[in-house]
Homo-oligomer: A and B are copies of this chain.
Amino acid sequence: MSIRALEDLIKEFKKMPGIGLKTAQRLSFYVLRISKKEADKLAKAIIQVKELIGHCSVCGNITEKDPCEICANPKRDHEIICVVEEPKDILSIEKTGEYHGLYHVLMGVISPLDGIGPENLRIDSLVKRIKSSGIKEVIIATNPNVEGEATATYLSRLLKPLGTRVYRIARGLPVGSELEYADEVTVTKALEGRVEM
């Protein structure tokens, strides 16, 4: 049984992150099962995302307007910039409701093995923002893995001479976890980053 249109859809779904053959098949059969109207809605949502969403020319966040809602919001603290790897990281931080400054998206991390150096990231524009608009504090929120730490160290050395204070997000035990199951590096970081009570 070879049904070209179905095979094509399975192939497209399989390209998605974390989607294997079995899941791609299940999703394709789901599309087969739903109404034409529902399938059109799904296809349209995919196309709309590409047509309506672009990047903010200031911070690099994804947005339907330029500059984005965060950069354009006068109520946010325009003296603090939080540096993240990807636009989706902004979502994680915004969900806490605890951060009220601006963002800057690097669009990746320094990763020599993948041929990505500082010149491939949005670092120049970060330096320009800091120089031109009185940024007092930079919080580096790249991921706490090898590439993220290397990028954070690189940025810290680059930005401190500009006269801004540079912070790194805390690394330690996740809330609700147990010491028994934490890896050594995390426990080390948790000890190093201990906070006075």
Cβ-defined contact, B45 with A46, below 8 A: no
Question: How many copies of this protein are present in the complex?
Answer: 2
Picked from B45, B68, B88, the residue with its CB within 8 Å of the CB of A12 is: B45
Task: Assess whether B39 is in contact with A46, with CB atoms less than 8 Å apart.
Answer: yes
Chain B residue numbers with a CB within 8 Å of A50 are 31-32, 36, 39-40
Contact flags (1/0) for A24-56 with B, using CB distance below 8 Å? Answer: 011111111000101111111111111111000
A 5-20 contacts with B by CB, 8 A: 5-6, 8-9, 11-13, 15-19
Which residues from chain B contact A1 at a C-beta distance below 8 Å? Answer: 61, 68-70, 90-91, 94
How many chain A residues touch the partner (CB < 8 A)? 55
By a CB distance below 8 angstroms, the chain B residues around A64 are 3-5
| A152 interface residue (CB < 8 Å to B) | no
Assess the A63–B3 pair: CB atoms within 8 A. yes
With both chains docked as a complex, state the minimum distance between the C-beta of A162 and any C-beta of chain B, in angstroms: 27
Chain A residues engaging chain B, CB cutoff 8 angstroms? 1-6, 8-9, 11-13, 15-19, 23, 25-32, 36, 38-53, 61-64, 68-70, 86-88, 90-91, 94
The DSSP consensus for interface residues of chain A is helix
Closest 3 CB pairs of A and B: A43-B43, A9-B45, A5-B52
Q: Which residues of B contact A29 (CB under 8 A)?
A: 86-88
A46-B61 CB under 8 A given contacts A2-B69, A53-B6: no
A63's nearest neighbour on chain B, judged by CB, is: B3
The distance from the CB of A65 to the nearest CB of chain B, in whole angstroms, is: 10
- The contact of A41 among B4, B12, B39, B63, by CB within 8 Å, is B12
